[in-house]
Amino acid sequence: MDTHPAGTKNKSDEGAGRPAPAPSTNFIRNVIAEDLVRGTYADRRWAGRPGPYDQHAAAPLDAAHIRTRFPPEPNGYLHIGHGKSICLNFGLARDFGGRCHMRFDDTNPVKEDQEFVDGILDSVRWLGFDWTHTSSSGAESNLYHASDYFEDMYRFAEHLIATGYAYVDEQSAEQMRQTRGTLTEPGTNSPYRDRPIEDNLRLFREMRAGQHAEGSMILRAKIDMGSPNINMRDPAIYRIRFAEHHMTGDAWKVYPMYAYAHPIEDALENITHSICTLEFEDQRPFYDWTLVRIVPLLRRPQYEAARALLDRIAGEGTEAKRQFALHCRNVVEGSRDKLGHSRYERRVEAMFASWSRNPDLAVNDADELLKLLREHTQHFTPLLQAALDERVPNPFMLPHQYEFNRLNLTYVVMSKRKLIQLVEDRHVDGWDDPRMPTLVGLRRRGFTPQSIQTFMERIGVSKSTQWIDYSVLEQALRDDLDATAPRATAVLEPLKLVIDNWPASTTEDCTFAVHPHKPELGTRTIPLGRELWIEREDFNENPPKGYFRLTPPRSDATGHVVPGGMVRLRSAYVIRCTGVDKDAAGNVTAVHAEYLPETRSGTEGANSVKVKGAIHWLPVHAAQPAEVRLYDRLFTDPQPDAGGKDFLTLLNPGSKRVLSAYVEASLANAQPDDKFQFERNGYFVADRKNHTSEKPVFNLAVTLKDSWGK
């Protein structure tokens, strides 16, 4: 009886349904463990939804030990590099008793679309992760959008203007490029940089009301045009866009820049560890600058607590005040960006400079320093975030950004621009083409959530740039499917075999294991008949040395007749080739053979005739026609877009082959996404878009062995 089960299938919970790979230690895990010991985020409260801390102050302590987030922009489909971030962020939250937020950074309405939102959510679920959690306090769904916070972001921008840390610039884009400076030369201040605060507020409100044209003005942070970090040279934080937003419609005419919006989103959501790839490392100072400058609104309870702590310090003894004053100076000397350019900050900077020449002056100036800090606290939040940390860990409860190495994978491109070009110019069959490095493409190729999670654990997390060979990803899939995929027989390039001494109307069932290492899965049967399909490569009219499959009778160099080659039909009989049929062009159309009745597998005579080869087969009368798509690497070069190469000239012309094949009859019942090992050929998946019982379609997921490494 045929007990062939359905193949392994990718369900949305497959990644969660089986044990996750054991996490490997990395520097981010070490940071989180240290933060938990230190209590850096222990006092956080959570009201069940994001918002400024006023909203959380009276809520219970946050049940999540940490909060991470996965923040894609909904302007395309996710690729395997995003998969690394998904596994890292959701995996850290899972392993440390936390929550990972699913958040869309939808700050650019020109490029965003609901199609991408839906596709991203589906990919995250497919990988085995979710943003909905159930605890003793009830269900918590952490699906958010940057657009949820547009009003808060706007309010914070007005605060920056009101405190002198932002201004409206009317220079053209070209003028701003010219005044930005270079890596070795400082930038030049905008002529609008010192515009009065009242005028900046008026213009910004007019921008919001749509009273100014796109590109006519932007809002810039006022930081330091001489900073060695170009990202700190008065970066833009708002621009005018007259575009329909997929979430907010036409409610907004100004939209925040990503670098400004991202830290605010993290803070409103009580994120503890904001994990990014290394290209954002130079933007971390602006991430921190943005948060500490808006602390009076963003973290008002903590801001007031800091002011109260300053009052207590002011009431302490002379030496204690002196030590705190010197500590503040040391903080600034260690990081110059803790002070901006307001007149109050310039006064403190001059004070610290005098102490460097004569530390005893700190005794006389400590009271004046504390007076400045207490009366103009809104100008000193960066300094206080660092200086008060000794007394209260992370006094403003701000998230911190950590950067890790992005995934560089050989034989693919992961630039969104280049992926779009591949799709739009029809070099591939869409975003979910199985050759694409997109998650939807890998899923259609036959990759499983478990294999991708295993791959991510194997490559690890660090700050070192490294290239991962594509074979490492493929091996993770082999390791998963070898243990889970049921076996099946398929003949990919069929050649007819006729067993001339087999009775024409007789069939005989041959038994095969569903899985060689899982007898509990049972067996499957394939009927042996007179006419069979075999692989074309299992016959060779002019065999090379060491070929041990079917060959026709022939004469050797001395004129002696060499009998035809013998092989075993798997789970059946030994056969001997007796001849071939050819068409008018001389092409072999059929192979003839005779079977040796005494050699039936499983009988005493099975070993009576020794052969060196065994081949698989299918009966002509009971085989299921199927389309089989053989996929290979999309590019012939391991780094197709490195060093100024034209990646399109490196496309692999043999990356897709479509075969008219035959599979065993039971596979007509396979469902889309079912996976099998086609014995001798590789691991295959029923195509999730085109496969039907009437017209089965199978994609090659991965070969049985790595052939590229040889």
Pairwise CA distance, residues 465 & 28, whole Å: 16
Report DSSP letters for 468-494, one per residue. Answer: E-HHHHHHHHHHHHHHHPPEE-EESSE
User: ∠ CA(40), CA(44), CA(45), 5° rounding?
Assistant: 170
Locate 242 and state its tokens.
């007259």
293 three-state secondary structure: helix
Q: Check: CB of residue 19 under 8 Å from CB of residue 30.
A: no
Report DSSP letters for 157-181, one per residue. Answer: HHHHHHTTSEEEE---HHHHHHHS-
Pairwise CA distance, residues 521 & 453, whole Å: 26
Question: Which entry of 29, 253, 307, 406 is annotated as an active-site residue?
Answer: 406
Question: Which entry of 73, 170, 531, 627 is annotated as an active-site residue?
Answer: 73
CA count, 13 A, side-chain hemisphere, 412: 26
The answer to whether residue 73 is catalytic is yes
Beta pairing class for 697-702 and 682-686: antiparallel
Distances (CA, A) of 190 to 162, 172, 194: 19, 11, 8
DSSP state of 496: E
DSSP state of 507: -
DSSP state of 45: B
Pairwise CA distance, residues 536 & 580, whole Å: 13
Residue with tokens 């990646």: 647
Pairwise CA distance, residues 674 & 703, whole Å: 17
Question: Which entry of 18, 49, 155, 416 is annotated as an active-site residue?
Answer: 416
Query: One-letter amino acid identity for 28?
Result: I
Pairwise CA distance, residues 268 & 100, whole Å: 14
Pairwise CA distance, residues 428 & 438, whole Å: 12
All residues at 6 or more sequence positions from 355 whose CB lies less than 8 Å from its CB, including other chains: 325, 326, 329, 361, 362, 365
The answer to whether residue 406 is catalytic is yes
The answer to whether residue 416 is catalytic is yes
Pairwise CA distance, residues 626 & 661, whole Å: 5
310 three-state secondary structure: helix
Nearest to 667 by CA among 655, 675, 679, 659: 675
What residues act catalytically?
73, 406, 416
